[in-house]
Every structure is written in C-alpha cells, then in structure tokens.
C-alpha cells in the first residue's frame, strides 16, 4: 500500500494508524502506541545497511539498522543459495539501542544461530535450512561468480520461516572469490591439470602451489583468494578429474609435482625463486617429498593437519585440536620433536593450534561443517570433521591472516606487503 501523505510503502496497519484516531488504534492492536511510534506515516521507515555491497569473501561486512524504537526486538537474518540450489540461512535476535539502532559490530545477539557480539555471525553461522538435504558442505565451484546473500531485518524475535509477515527491510551483498583484475588460466600441460590465478598487474609475482585432499577434483577458491591478495596461485588436481591420465599416489607423485612447480617457475609473470606450497590433508603427503628435494627448492610450506620430516624451508603448521579426521595434534608433535627439533631445525617451525577447531579450516567466514557426506566410490559416506561453530570460525579468521603474513614474509622477504617481485633477469 502507498501512503498518501509521504508516498512510501507502509503496511496496512500503518495506514489505519495514520487515518484513524489514536483511541481506536489502541483498541485494534495489542501493542501500545509508544512502542510503535516509528510505524506512523510521519516517521521514517526502518533502514538496513550492509556494506560493502560487493566484496571478497574474506572481508568483513558492516551490518547496521536504524529508525526504530529503543529496546525494540528485531531479528537479523541471512539467506543464500548454494550453486546446487540448496538454501543456507543464519539469524540472530537483537534489541535496539537507546537511539533505536542495531550495529552488529557493537550489539549482542541474544538468540538464534549464535550468541554474543559477532559482527560476521550471519556468515560463518550459515547452515542448511530446515528441509534441505542432510550432510551438506558449502564449497564454491565457479569462482568467477559470487554468492548472493540476502540480509533481512525482521520485526520481533522470530525465525526465518516467519519472515514473510515480519520483514521490515532487506539488503543484498555479493561475496566474491576473485578480485577485479585477477586472471584465471586453465592449465593442461605435460600431464598436469590445474588452474593458475594471477594477481592484477604485469608481475612478476611470488607464487604458491595449492594442493587439496582426497576429495579430488580441482578446488580453486583458496587459490583465487590468494591471487586476490597478491600471490600467484596454482591449484592442481591429482585424482578424480576427467582430464587426468593418471591417478597419483604418494609413490608416483614426485614427477607430477615437479612438473607443476616448473610450470610456475617458467611463467614470465612469476618469480621463479619465490615459490611456496600450501596443502591440506592427503595433499600434504604428496607434496612433502617434493618440498624436501634439493632440485625443487621451495621457499616455504603451509600445511593443514598432517605429518612432516626432512624439511629445509620454513613451515607453518595449522591444526584444529578437535580434528576428528586426523590425529593433527599428535602429528604436530612428531613434526617438531621427532623431526625438526632432532635435526636442529626448530627455527623453521611455526604452529598455529586452535582449540575447538576441526579438520576443515577454510578461509574466513566460511560456514562450519562438522559432518558431511563424502563420496567414496561407489557410495557417499558420512565423514566427521569435528570442531564447534564459534571456535572454528575464530580459527578460520585468524589462521588466514597469519598464512598471508607468513607467505608475505617468506616469499617477498624485505619487499612491502603485496609488492611485486620485479626480479632483474
């Protein structure tokens, strides 16, 4: 309905309040007039702002709402569709401050998907909506398109199922995995299958080889983010991909990994002597021997949840102490005490250990998955990853920041953050 007094959209009850007497209005509703002053035609409608409206998934979002009564109950709700069409959602219950505003960087959720002051809770607390498929894990396949997240301001402390009759304002934000100017290049060379991401500009850039776990296929979203932060990144497939001629194992991986690093080293926009490796789970086993070979000479290694020895370059070990998939804590002790310390190389070792975090430590603000179905031919089996939602979210945010600092220190050296290598040929 359009208000004749201010030409703005208002609910039918608001129109009645503007045209009928105060006494009659009180008799028609259970809510007293003082609590509903903002719903009259002479007051501005509630406003919801979500900034930036377009940004990278590892960037924080500012969510604010205003023009409401003080101490008024409202719900902030986030909803988005996965690439397969599954609905994911999260919500928090808030009360407005004395000036009638809500600011997620300041105010505490008193109920819903999370509690407390959590500015990004609407993102990392996303879970499959009731009625969606069981055992889902949110992973981005096409990094050249964003996730579209709808943020709603709802009246009262309600659930997303009740949004139709309680929606006060809506805003949308796009969450991208590639910054403007990042190049995505398909690589099918010398038997190597992968995707190379180059940062904006001519280079030359420091680079990382990005190797994932036994889920197989070609996983690109960590590489595209790394390139968005100034590092050329080469994500490779080694199993479960249609273009692979051979499925690799730990005994046959050396030649393949060398070829992948040579592709980076020979690229004209990449600093050939500033290459690192970042790997997860089973992918670590495949890269370990490669990283220790003298003729490969990688500058640094970032590992998630696995064992290592005989390393000669700086190592950042990231682990979740509630990892239910691998014995990450025990492995980290073996790496340090039985491996690097015994060899007199403790100075190479840095460990990031997170209580309450599970196996799947992703880039920041990704929804936590404690259990998901994992395809193990010929069927899908439930796999327990571990972690609790709040601690895991904190681990993802801090570890990504520390990984970028580690790569910057060891691949750029004295150069300023995100600067080009500019190697003299």
Joined tokens for residue 406:
């580690």
- Separation in Å, CA 248 to CA 143, 285, 286: 25, 11, 9
Q: Please, what's the b/e burial string for 31-46 (b: 16 or more CB within 10 A of its CB; e: otherwise)?
A: eeeeebebbebeeebb
Contact criterion met (CB below 8 Å) for 157 and 73 = yes
Among candidate residues 227, 224, 314, the one with its CA nearest the CA of residue 277: 314
Q: Exactly one of 323, 368, 392, 421 is catalytic; name it.
A: 323
281 is catalytic: yes
Q: Exactly one of 77, 271, 281, 421 is catalytic; name it.
A: 281
Upper half-sphere CA count for residue 51 (Cβ side, 13 Å): 6
Residue written as token pair 């949840």: 305
93 is catalytic: no
Give the span between the Cα atoms of 280 and 231, in whole angstroms. Answer: 18
Contact criterion met (CB below 8 Å) for 232 and 266 = no
Q: Which residues contact 424 (CB under 8 A, 6 or more apart)?
A: none
DSSP class of residue 116?
A: B
DSSP class of residue 140?
A: -
241 is catalytic: no
Q: Exactly one of 93, 157, 267, 359 is catalytic; name it.
A: 359
Residues labelled as active-site residues: 281, 323, 359
């Amino acid at each position: 309905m359009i208000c004749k007094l201010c030409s703005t959209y208002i609910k039918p009850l608001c129109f009645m309040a503007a045209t009928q007497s105060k006494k009659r209005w009180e008799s028609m509703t259970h809510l007293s007039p003082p609590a509903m002053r903002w719903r009259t035609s002479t007051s501005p409608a509630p406003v919801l702002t979500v900034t930036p409206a377009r940004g990278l998934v590892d960037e924080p979002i500012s969510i604010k709402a205003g023009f409401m009564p003080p101490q008024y109950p409202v719900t902030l709700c986030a909803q988005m569709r996965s690439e397969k069409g599954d609905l994911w959602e999260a919500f928090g219950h808030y009360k407005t401050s004395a000036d009638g505003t809500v600011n997620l960087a300041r105010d505490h959720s008193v109920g819903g998907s999370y509690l407390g002051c959590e500015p990004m809770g609407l993102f990392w607390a996303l879970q499959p909506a009731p009625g969606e498929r069981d055992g889902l894990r949110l992973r981005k396949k096409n990094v050249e398109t964003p996730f579209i997240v709808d943020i709603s301001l709802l009246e009262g402390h309600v659930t997303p199922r009740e949004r139709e009759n309680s929606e006060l304002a809506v805003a949308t934000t796009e969450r991208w995995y590639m910054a403007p100017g990042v190049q995505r290049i398909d690589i099918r060379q010398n038997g190597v299958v992968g995707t190379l991401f180059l940062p904006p500009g001519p280079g030359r850039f420091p680079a990382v080889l990005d190797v994932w776990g036994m889920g197989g296929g070609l996983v690109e979203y960590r590489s595209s983010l790394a390139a968005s932060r100034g590092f050329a990144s080469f994500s490779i497939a080694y199993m479960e991909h249609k273009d692979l001629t051979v499925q690799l194992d730990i005994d046959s991986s050396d030649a393949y990994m060398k070829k992948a690093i040579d592709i980076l080293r020979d690229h004209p926009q990449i600093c050939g002597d500033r290459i690192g490796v970042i790997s997860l789970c089973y992918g670590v086993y495949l890269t370990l021997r490669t990283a220790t070979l003298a003729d490969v000479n990688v500058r640094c290694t970032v590992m998630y949840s696995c064992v290592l020895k005989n390393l000669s370059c700086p190592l950042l070990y990231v682990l979740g102490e509630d990892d239910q998939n691998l014995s990450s804590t025990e492995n980290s002790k073996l790496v340090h005490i039985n491996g690097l310390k015994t060899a007199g190389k403790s100075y190479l070792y840095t460990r990031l250990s997170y209580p309450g975090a599970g196996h799947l430590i992703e880039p920041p603000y990704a929804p936590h998955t404690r259990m998901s179905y994992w395809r193990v031919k010929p069927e899908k089996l439930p796999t327990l990853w571990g972690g609790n939602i709040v601690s895991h979210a904190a681990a993802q945010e801090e570890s990504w920041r520390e990984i970028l600092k580690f790569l910057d220190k060891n691949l750029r050296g004295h150069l300023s953050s995100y600067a080009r290598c500019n190697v003299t040929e």
